Amino acid sequence: MEGRCEIGVIGMGVMGQNLALNLARHGIPVCVYNRTAERTEAFMRERVREEPIAPAHTLEELVQRLSRPRRLLLMVQAGPAVDQVLEALVPLLERGDVVMDGGNSHYADTERRMQALAARGIHFLGIGISGGERGALEGPSLMPGGSPEAYARVEPLLTRIAARSEEGPCCGYMGRGGAGHYVKMVHNAIEYAFMQGIAEAYDVMGTALGLSAEAIAEVFERWNEGNLNAYLVGLAARVLRYPDPETGAPLVERILDRAEQKGTGRWAAQSALELGVPAPTLMAAVVARTLSHFKADRERIAAGFPWPDGWPATAPGDEVEALADLEAALNLVVLTAFSQGLWLLHEASRAYAYGVDRGEVLRVWRAGSILRARWLGFLREVVREDPEDPHLLFSPRFRAEIRDRLAGLPAAGRVLRLAFAHGIPMPALSTAVDYVLSMRRSRLPANLIQAQRDAFGAHTYERIDRPGVFHTDWEG
C-alpha cells in the first residue's frame, strides 16, 4: 500500500487486528506494528485482503508512514507493556500527535501517562473499548476520555468504526483525564454483577427447579424477548445450548467452576471504597469470582458440611411462578448494578473533575458493548430527567414505573428463600435486596454502632434531636 496512513495500530493481538481491519474496512488507511514482526506478517498473510493496511517492522517506520498530526492506537496488554511502548514511541513523535490507549488500563495510570505526554506537547487519550473481539471487528462501543482538543482530532475516525444505535454512533466523549478508562472500569463492574446475577438464576433453575441446560436456555431466550433483553442474557442461552464435541453433553457443564478476572471489576470495587460509595452488588460479584477460585477448599469443606437432612424446607412450588419470580429478581440485580455503577460514576466525576455525562455514557453502551440491553434506554431517560440525582433506582420515575411490577422485592424475597432452602449462594441478589432495603430505610441501626464506638473508644456521636458532637461516660 502506498501513501500515508491515517492511523497506526500498535499491538497485533486479536483486538488490535480486528480494530485495524474495522478501520481499514471503513476506508481508513492503517499502518500496523507488533513488537514481534512474525505476528504482523501472519496477520497480513492470513487476514488482510483488499483492505488498505500496511505493515511496519519498526516503530520508526510506523511513525514515518503516518500523516500528521499522527494518530496512534495502542492495543497492548494493560500494565507495564503500555509504559514500555510509550518509552520507545514518544521520542519519535512530535507536538500535536495523539496517542490512544485502547486497553483496559487503570484510570490512574492513564492520568499519569497523560500528564507525562502533555509535558512534551503530545496528546494522550484513554479509550474504553467494549464488545469483545467481534465488536472490535464489527462495531465496538467506544469510551474515549482525555482533553476535548485531542478527542476532536480522532473523533471522525472513532465514530466511523463504532457500533450504531438509533441514537447514532456508540462513541462519545466521556470526559477529561482518565474518564474513558474509568467509565470502562465501571462498565466492567456492572458486567461482572450482571453475569453473576445470570449465573445465580442458572443455579436456581438447575439446582432448585431441576431444569436441564437446554430448558434453562429456553428460559433465558424467553426473558431475552422482554424487559431482560440484553446481550448477556442471549449469550447465556447460546452458551447453555452448546454441546461438548467430545461427550455431546452441554459444554458448560464440563467447564471448571473457577471464574477468572483481569482486574477491572476489582479496581471499581476499590475505587468505590476509596470514594465512599456503597456498591455492594458490584463488590459481591468480584468476591464471588475470587471465592470460586478456592475449588479445592470448597470441595474439602463441602465433604464435611453436607446440606442438613430434611432440607430443602421449601418445596419449589409452581415452576411457572418460580420462574416469574426469578425473572423479576434478575431484573432487580441488573437495575441495582446499574444504579450502583452510575452512582459511583457520579461521585468519581465530581472527585476527579471528569465532567462525565451519564446520559452520554448510557447512550454509548446502547449498542456494541457487552452491557447492551433494553434497560439502557429507560435508564438514560431517568438520568436525563435529573442529571444531578445520583440515585437512579430511587428516582420518582423509576419508582412509579417499576418498583412494584419489576424490581419486585417480594419476588426477590421468595427467590432468596427458595435458594437458601437448597443451599444456593446468591451474592448478587442478596446484596441487591439488601441495598434497596437499606437505601429505603430512613432509620438504620447505626445508632447502636455509634453508641458502642463511643462507649469503648470515646469516638463521640451525634444526636437526632439537637446539633453537636457528644460523648458519654457509659460506665457512669
φ/ψ (deg, to 5) at 129 = -125, 120
% helix / strand / coil in the chain, to the nearest 5?
Answer: 55, 10, 35
Instruction: Output 171 or 370, the one with its CB closest to ligand 6PG.
Output: 370
The secondary element (H helix, E strand) that includes residue 169 is: strand 168-169
Residue 128 CA to residue 105 CA, distance in Å, equals 9
> Does residue 147 belong to the site contacting ligand 6PG (CB under 6 A)?
no
- Measured from each CB, the residue nearest to ligand 6PG is 130
> Does residue 188 belong to the site contacting ligand 6PG (CB under 6 A)?
yes
> Does residue 260 belong to the site contacting ligand 6PG (CB under 6 A)?
yes
Instruction: Output 266 or 346, the one with its CB closest to ligand 6PG.
Output: 266
Asked about 262 being catalytic, the answer comes back as no
> Does residue 270 belong to the site contacting ligand 6PG (CB under 6 A)?
no
Residue 379 CA to residue 392 CA, distance in Å, equals 7
Instruction: Output 260 or 309, the one with its CB closest to ligand 6PG.
Output: 260
> Does residue 180 belong to the site contacting ligand 6PG (CB under 6 A)?
no
Candidates 6, 51, 111, 184; catalytic one: 184
Neighbours of 79 (CB within 10 A): 15
- Locate 61 and state its grid cell: 517506520
Binding piece for ligand 6PG, criterion CB under 6 A, among 59-67, 256-264, 278-286, 358-366: 256-264
> Does residue 257 belong to the site contacting ligand 6PG (CB under 6 A)?
no
Candidates 191, 200, 253, 274; catalytic one: 191
Using alpha carbons, select from 198, 192, 207, 194 the residue that is nearest to residue 419: 207
Minimum distance, C-beta of residue 476 to ligand 6PG, in the bound complex (Å): 54
> Does residue 105 belong to the site contacting ligand 6PG (CB under 6 A)?
no
Neighbours of 61 (CB within 10 A): 14
Contact 237, 220 (CB under 8 A): yes
> Does residue 299 belong to the site contacting ligand 6PG (CB under 6 A)?
no
φ/ψ (deg, to 5) at 272 = -60, -40
Contact 278, 435 (CB under 8 A): yes
Helix axes 427-439, 280-292, angle to 10 degrees: 160
Instruction: Output 40 or 104, the one with its CB closest to ligand 6PG.
Output: 104
> Does residue 130 belong to the site contacting ligand 6PG (CB under 6 A)?
yes
> Does residue 325 belong to the site contacting ligand 6PG (CB under 6 A)?
no
φ/ψ (deg, to 5) at 270 = -65, -40
| The binder of ligand 6PG chosen from 17, 34, 110, 264 (CB under 6 A) | 264
> Does residue 370 belong to the site contacting ligand 6PG (CB under 6 A)?
yes
Residue numbers at the binding site for ligand 6PG (CB under 6 A): 104, 130-132, 188, 191, 260-262, 264-265, 369-370
Query: Could you give the residue numbers annotated as active site?
Result: 184, 191
